[in-house]
Structure 1
Amino acid sequence: MTSSSLLLSLLLLLASSAAGLATAARDDDASEHGLTHIHIYLHEILSGPNATTIAVTQSPRGGNATFGRIGVLDLEVRDGSDPKSSELLGRYQGMFAFAGLVSPPSGLLTTVNFVFTAGEHDGSTLAVLGSIPSFEDSFERAVVGGTGAFRMARGYCVTTAVANPTPVSVVYEVDLFVKMDA
């Protein structure tokens, strides 16, 4: 299996993840804890000349090994799941590394920034860090900081694949729960 095929397979596993909690329940939880809820969508292109996720180094272990593989991503952040009818709000840029020797868990470590270039949060960023322990469920990572309106932010980010992924693309629903120091 080629490295692109392996990466595609891993991302499709992620895309088949189960739905998370209902948005209403999350909003109630956010309000109760003084968190701002931001609901957005990520649009990822998995292959072809416009791919938005690529592996830049392969595992030094060779073959189908993932340990040591490093990649980068630059996805669209939109206000809806349909790329043709939703507004582009910014970019989701970062890197990932397969840091686990044993699978499962995958050992996929991510560090990304939500870079808002339009809408209510234009000019601000949020930094998200954490591992993806399972490709079968929604996954949660920590919001560890930000700039602009999100200076000194902290919180968490829940990501869930939505709709049916294709071999070429996948859409993720993202719920950010953010608290800023007053």
Structure 2
Amino acid sequence: MSKTSFQKLSSTLMILLVFLSHLLTTHGSSKSQLDFSRKLPKKAIRLKRSKTISHLHFYFHDILSGKNPTAVKIVEANMTKNSATKFGSMVMMDDPLTIGPKLSSKLVGRAQGIYAQASLNDIAYLMVLNFAFVDEGDYNGSTLSVLGRNKVLSSVREMPIVGGTGVFRFARGYALAKAHAYDPKTGNAVVEYSVFVVH
């Protein structure tokens, strides 16, 4: 093979390699843009191995009466008037969470969300809420999310913790709720919560 032929072949191969490299790069980037999901390295999202189990204990104050209610009925279905369980009714809440059972005790957060009567036959709420923590050291600004069934007349109700933010990112666990006080005239309630969460 002559030197000229070799140079032409080398030039052709170089152009071909550049073209293939460009094609692979373009194909790779368009594929990643079209993919539904991709795996990320743990470092990219600062994920550490789950190693902390926290136990939180507080009181939830659901206040439906007075000048400053923290829970307000937002839906009352037509059939609710004829329903013993008030099926279909829905309440929006921003309830204080305190260290002790008295409303005047130290505030540690707010329970913000919705509870709805989701059972025709018994009093069982669908709970969709966040425990938003304030002024409690490392937990300040962090939240835990609850999504579950609350069978109100049971002595202890268990609901799942399905996630969280801040120090509770990727959290999982459960919350145990127990009635502490209830006023049937006003509907006001104080509920003791014991929450166990891995994060």
Distance of 1:134 and 1:173 partners within structure 2: 13
Residue equivalent to 1:91: 110
Question: Deviation at 1:100?
Answer: 2.1
Q: Which residue of 74, 87, 104 maps to 1:67? A: 87
Residues 63 and 73 of structure 1: is their aligned pair in 2 closer, same or farther, counting only changes over 3 Å? same
Judged with a 3 Å threshold, the aligned counterparts in structure 2 of structure 1 residues 159 and 145 are, in CA distance, closer, same or farther, namely same
Shift of 1:107: 3.8
Cα deviations by residue, 1:118-164 (Å, 9 ceiling, x for unpaired): 113101000011011341311110000000000000000001122x4
Q: CA deviation at 1:62?
A: 4.5
Gaps of 5+ in 1: 1-32
CA separation of 1:45/1:107 partners in 2, compared to 1, >3 Å: closer, same or farther?
A: closer
Structure 2 match to 1:77: 97
Partner of 2:179: 161
Q: Going by fraction, where is helix more abundant, 1 or 2?
A: 2
Amino acid of the residue matched to residue 112 of structure 2? Q
* Partner residue, 1:138: 156
The 5-angstrom pairing of residues 109-128 of structure 1 reads 109-120=126-137, 121-128=139-146
**Contact 2:92 2:115 survives alignment (8 Å):** yes
Question: What is the alpha-carbon distance in structure 2 between the residues aligned to residue 97 and residue 159 of structure 1?
Answer: 16
SS at match of 2:141: coil
Tell me how far apart the structure 2 counterparts of residues 61 and 165 of structure 1 sit (CA, whole Å).
25
Describe the SS at the equivalent of 1:61. Answer: helix
- Rg larger in 1 or in 2? 2
Q: 1:48 aligns to what? A: 66
Q: Which has the higher contact order (CA 8 A, sep 6+)?
A: 1
How far off is 1:34 after superposition?
6.1
**CA-based RMSD:** 1.9
Who is 1:152 aligned against? 170
Which structure 1 residue ranges, 4+ long, deviate > 4 Å from structure 2? Answer: none
Aligned to 1:176: 195
Using the aligned pairs only, state the percent identity.
Answer: 36
